[in-house]
Amino acid sequence: MSNKPCKHSELKKKGSTAKRMRASWGKPRSAVPTIRIRPERFLIVTEGAKTEPYYFEGFRRRINAEFHGEYVTLRVCGVGDNTISLFERARSIASADPDGFTQVWVVYDRDSFPSRDFNAVVDLCSAESGRGVVYRAAWTNESFELWYLLHFAYIDSALDRGSYIPMLTRRLRADGLGKYEKNRTDMFCVLEERMRTAIANAERLEESNVGRAPADSNPGTTVHLLVKELMPYLGSEKSGEGR
């Protein structure tokens, strides 16, 4: 290592560098370039033309108003098809959308459809998932109204379809919320505060149905899986506090 003293020009250069560094202290640094993340986009395609779309429209209005499509957006389609044909419609709608979706949910009831078709939708969704999009089945056995009833109580006994509406009406009237009808447009708002109760009851029911096919799970539902995906985007602390 040389012991020669630094030349005047080298000392001046070092001094200038130090001076520039001191001058930059305390000044804001340039912003780090941000990478734009693809927004979460949900497509919900339902068997019913009114009951399910009206309920999920409540989520859609809240979520789309909260995020304006910047981070998440939600589209709801009530198409009137069932089981396998409903899945095909969901896939067709998703494929035709120019922006694409990250999650596609097929929402349907047991009704009187063949067990094979009712169960097949779950497998079809699993097989179709990939390339940045996940397909999921949100089924209910027997009727979508089971999801509504779970907001009030845990139900583990099989019900015929005709029992749901009078049971819901009794529950709603007990809280001064009027009569239940298939075309009620306010069920999201009516039930929102009980959302966590419904999820807990649905999860308990899910545990009791472990090992059973959807068609053999009566009562049973996976609607809570979809609701759990949407809840973080509601922008409201009151959702799901329960009573």
DSSP 122-148: HHHHHHH-BTTBEEEEEEEES-THHHH
pLDDT at 16 exceeding the cut of 70: no
In this predicted structure, the answer to whether residue 207 has a pLDDT above a threshold of 60 is yes
Lowest mean pLDDT among 46-50, 110-114, 181-185, 235-239: 235-239
Is the pTM value of this prediction over 0.85?
no
Name the pLDDT band for 15 (thresholds 50, 70, 90): low
| Distance of alpha carbon 197 from alpha carbon 147, whole angstroms | 11
pLDDT of the residue at 39? 84
Rounded to whole angstroms, how far apart are CA atoms 232 and 242?
16
**38 pLDDT band (50/70/90 cuts)?**
low
Each as own residue / partner, the long-range contacts of residues 132-136 (CB below 8 Å, 24 or more positions apart, any chain) are 132/100, 132/102, 133/94, 133/100, 133/101, 133/102, 133/103, 133/104, 134/102, 134/103, 134/104, 135/87, 135/90, 135/91, 135/104, 135/105, 135/106, 136/103, 136/104, 136/105, 136/106, 136/222, 136/225, 136/226
pLDDT of residue 69: 79
pLDDT for residue 150 is more than 90? yes
pLDDT for 14: 46
Compute the C-alpha angle 145/136/208, nearest 5°: 55
How far, in whole angstroms, is CA 53 from its chain's centroid? 14
Domains of the chain: 40-233 (3.40.50)
Dump the DSSP string for 204-241. Answer: HHHHHTTT--GGG-SSEE-HHHHHHHHGGGS--SSTT-
Q: What's the confidence (pLDDT) of residue 221?
A: 98
The reported pLDDT for the residue numbered 236 is 56
Alpha-carbon distance values, 170 to 177, 179, 227 (Å)? 10, 8, 24
Please count the CA atoms within 13 angstroms of the CA of 68 that sit on its side-chain side. Answer: 0
C-alpha dist (Å) from residue 235 to 15, 46, 64, 67, 69: 54, 24, 10, 9, 14
Work out the percent of the chain whose per-residue pLDDT is above 70.
81
What are the tens digits of pLDDT across the range 24-37? Answer: 445 554 454 444 45
Which among 239, 243, 242 is positioned nearest to 62, based on CA atoms?
Answer: 239
Per residue in 60-96, pLDDT (tens digit) is 999 998 888 788 999 999 998 999 999 999 999 999 9
What amino acid occupies position 209? N
